[in-house]
Amino acid sequence: MNEYLLMFADAVFGFVALFVLVKVLGKTQISSLTPFDFISAVIIGELVGNALFEKESGIPEIAFLITLWGTMLYITELITQKYKGSRHILEGRPSMVIHKGHIVYDELKQNRLDIDELQHMLRSKDVFSVEEVEYAILEADGTVSVLRKPEYQTPTNADLNVSPKPVKIGRVVISDGEIVWDNLKEANLSQTWLEEELHRQNIQSVRDVFYAEWQENQQKLFIALYHYKPEQKD
């Protein structure tokens, strides 16, 4: 029993320590995961995992490993922020794989990227033909940024000389059969209005609604009811 209690204490401490480490290092460690960041995350997981299952290791050893590795990561972040020249070494640098409509073979080769992988990355950006691309940049985190040729770009309000309208976000007012009171209040809507709107759309109860969103730009309520996969007959 004592052994399980020690494992429980180690696991809880490791969880809390990793949570604090992520908070200290910031969201960029997750949102912009470079190859170096990925390797760091794997190593942290290995260090904590090994410490948890080693009988000789305990909370002090886990704390030491996480603190040491977290400190090195933090110092690395400080170096990249203070010395710009170190960024391409520690974080990598973007590579222009398509320049003025031409695929730069040398950049593909240097980044070990073949044409099939490039096409897959372009399709993830809703580009289904290389011909549409004027510039494509392979970012340090492995994603690709695309600028289409003028004839393939979606026109903006400025291009069409159309007066822009204020942009307002949609607010979730019902989630999984429950009213989201904060959003309903922020949208200056009442429960009475919501119930009347549901009845107008032939919905008897809030509990029947899986998801409802107030679209302020269009002044309408989008509603999605519970929908289950139909049973397959043998």
- The CATH class, in words, for 95-152 is alpha beta
**210-221 pLDDT per residue, tens:** 999 998 877 889
Q: Do domains 95-152 and 171-225 have the same CATH topology?
A: yes
Domain parsing of the chain, residue ranges:
2-88, 95-152, 171-225
Over residues 30-65, the pLDDT tens digits come to 445 555 566 666 666 666 666 666 666 666 766 777
For residue 67, what pLDDT is reported?
Answer: 75
pLDDT bin (cut points 50, 70, 90) of residue 15 is: low
The more confidently predicted of residues 225 and 14 is 225
- For domain 171-225, give the CATH superfamily: bsu07140 like domains (3.30.240.20)
For 130-161, how does the pLDDT look when each residue is reduced to its tens digit (9 = 90+)?
A: 999 999 999 877 789 999 999 888 888 888 88
What does the angle CA 205 – CA 206 – CA 209 come to, to the nearest 5 degrees?
105
Where are any strands of DSSP class E within the chain?
Answer: 95-99, 102-103, 133-138, 144-148, 171-175, 178-179, 209-215, 220-225
Q: Where is pLDDT greater, at 41 or 233? A: 41
Q: 127 or 38: whose pLDDT is higher?
A: 127
